[in-house]
Structure 1
Amino acid sequence: MEPRGIAEAGGAALVSGVLAIAGLWLAVGYIDWVLVIGLAAGVAIAAAANYRARTGHADAVATEAPEVTADNFEEYTPIKAGDGGTEGLDDESETE
């Protein structure tokens, strides 16, 4: 995994661990280290999976997207109201 992904997963695990320690100390008065370590590990796994999904999706979109240039941008630009296009409009209006 890239250094950025490691930093995101590690940071999320660290923050969740500190918050778990603070919450347990304030609510119960003692710290259950098994719970804290399990929570931090779960958050690290989820953050790593999230990072992999985001970067994998971005790579897939980049490879599948057509290359838009100054010569063909009109083919890939949707026509919106006010752009002078009549795509999707009927010749006869049904509203009176």
Structure 2
Amino acid sequence: MDRREALEAGGAALACMVAATGTFYAVAGVVDWALVLGIGVSAAIAAAANYRARVGHAEQVADEAPASPIED
């Protein structure tokens, strides 16, 4: 896991956990920390998978693209 992937996954997890905490508190008046943690972990996994898919697709496109010679 490179630095950018870790930052994206961590940022997504933090943002979702903050949003979940606020939503639980606003709706129910009580925060269920187990659910908040589960939402954060799920968001981190999804963000990491999304990052790997984007990077893998970009590498695949770069490998399959024909070389275009520059003509004067």
> Shared fold (TM-score greater than 0.5)?
yes
- Structure 2: stretches of 5+ with no match in the other structure: none
Counterparts of 1:22 and 1:51, CA distance in 2? 27
Q: Which runs of 4+ in 1 moved over 4 A?
A: none
Tell me which protein shows more helix as a share of its residues: 2
In structure 2, the partner of 1:61 is 61
Counterparts of 2:70 and 2:17, CA distance in 1? 51
SS in 1 for 2:49: helix
Structure 1 position 69, deviation (Å):
1.3
- Structure 1: stretches of 5+ with no match in the other structure: 72-96
> What is the TM-score when the length of structure 2 is the normalising length?
0.94
In structure 1, the partner of 2:22 is 22
1:45-84 equivalent positions in 2, closer than 5 A: 45-71=45-71
Query: What RMSD in Å do the two structures reach over aligned CA positions?
Result: 0.8
Q: Of the two structures, which has the highest relative contact order with CA contacts closer than 8 Å and spacing of 6 or more?
A: 2
Structure with max Cα Rg: 1
SS in 2 for 1:31: coil
Deviation track 1:33-74 (CA, whole Å, cap 9, x = no partner) reads: 110000000010000000000000001111111111124xxx
Counterparts of 1:59 and 1:2, CA distance in 2? 16
Counterparts of 2:57 and 2:25, CA distance in 1? 40
